[in-house]
Amino acid sequence: MKFAAGLPDPAPHRAPAQSPQGPSGWPAWWMRRSLPAVALLPIAGVFGLLAAARRLAYRRGWLPRWRASVPVIVVGNVTVGGTGKTPLVLAIARSLCAAGWTPGIVSRGHGRSRHAPDPLEVMPDGAPRRTGDEPLLLARLSGCPVYVGRNRARAAQALLQAHTEVDIVLSDDGLQHLGLARDVELVVVDTRGAGNGWLLPAGPLRESWNRPRAATLGPTDVLPRVCSKAPQFAIGRHLGMVRNLKSGEQLSSNAFIQRCAGLDIVAAAGIGNPEQFFAMLRHTGVPLTHTLALPDHHHYARDPFAAMPAAAILMTEKDALKCDASVIALERLWAVGLEVDIDPAFFPWLQAQLPARTERPHGLTSA
């Protein structure tokens, strides 16, 4: 077995602890209508009734919504877990900046410490345990002000008070947070689609698969399964540069493959759909010898790779920013950039949905 020059031989191999999730990042029975899913259907029915009552309360004005003085775009999903919302939010933020807007971003900050201030501004040099991994990645890559908070409306208020230059707000993963009024709702789907098509906890749906939205974005083979009159835009993804966490060296995927030819290469991911990342690597030609699916928002408080005899370990940028040199040896860790390919018709369509840039009052509204 070969190892990259300059890297220490790893400890003898032991099989890593297995995640309770399936390869999709969901329990296996969420992907089919099996006995465990059927047994939970009564609870799913109650969940659906409560969710419908909540939506009705906001629609009728029985529960208040806060409307910002600037347009608000919400990017979310109707299923549990990640569907690639954050890369889309980043692409939208960059497009809006190029068009002359000054966007700000709000997010939940999943996985962050409960003891951190709420809401909280995310600084590019912040700690992921304090801010959440996805907001920190957005703050570093977008150049936009980013705020996190359990309450999206409060986070948006804090953002606009601190950054008066912001003239449009992007909410990352805020579809079900109806207390923040929005001008555009974008639903993102991924290769898993609706799973078995049932609501929580019998299936992965947080609300109806075909719920109203301004547009749906996702893979071309999944979009036809969404029965909605709203526009649909295809999203593709491809690998960007590969960066070594110790040296900072950056390689193209082809150069990385050539560098590591004949060596053991492992891929690890603590994201909503790890198998999608692994499939992208294989499609690019990376010869993976092993994959490690970790829970979404995994903290890397311990080294999960210590017993793995791999010359190189590939991970997402979201995972990489949580790897601390005091806990994990960084020499063989490589962060893989992700580039999003979006239907070119999407951005002109989005611009047309935005209200004119005129002053409007903000505050509570029943709309």
* CATH value at residue 142: 3.40.50.300
Cα–Cα dist 151/18, whole Å: 33
Lowest mean pLDDT among 6-10, 106-110, 294-298, 313-317: 6-10
> 3-state DSSP call for residue 79?
strand
Angle (CA) 32 35 38, round 5°: 80
Q: Would residue 19 count as lying in a domain?
A: no
Domains contained in the chain, number: 2
Segments forming the whole domain that contains residue 275:
238-340
Q: Would residue 2 count as lying in a domain?
A: no
Q: Is residue 277 located within the same domain as residue 195? A: no
pTM of the full predicted structure? 0.88
Q: Is residue 77 located within the same domain as residue 218? A: yes
Q: Is residue 116 located within the same domain as residue 189? A: yes
Q: Is residue 124 located within the same domain as residue 224? A: yes
Q: CB neighbours of 19 closer than 8 A, spacing ≥ 6?
A: 293, 294, 295
Q: Would residue 5 count as lying in a domain?
A: no
Q: Would residue 242 count as lying in a domain?
A: yes
Between the alpha carbon of residue 143 and those of residues 105, 136, 152, the distances in Å are 10, 11, 20
Band the pLDDT of 6: cuts 50, 70, 90.
Answer: very low
Between the alpha carbon of residue 5 and those of residues 14, 247, 263, the distances in Å are 23, 14, 11
Cα–Cα dist 217/341, whole Å: 11
Q: Is residue 157 located within the same domain as residue 195? A: yes
Q: Is residue 36 located within the same domain as residue 171? A: yes
Q: Would residue 311 count as lying in a domain?
A: yes
Q: What is the pLDDT of residues 237-280, one digit of tens each?
A: 889 999 999 999 999 999 999 999 999 999 999 988 899 899 99
Q: What is the pLDDT of residues 128-186, one digit of tens each?
A: 989 999 999 999 999 999 999 999 999 999 999 999 999 999 999 889 999 999 999 99
Q: Are 76 and 85 in contact (CB under 8 A)?
A: yes
Check residue 273 and give its pLDDT: 87
Q: Is residue 336 located within the same domain as residue 203? A: no
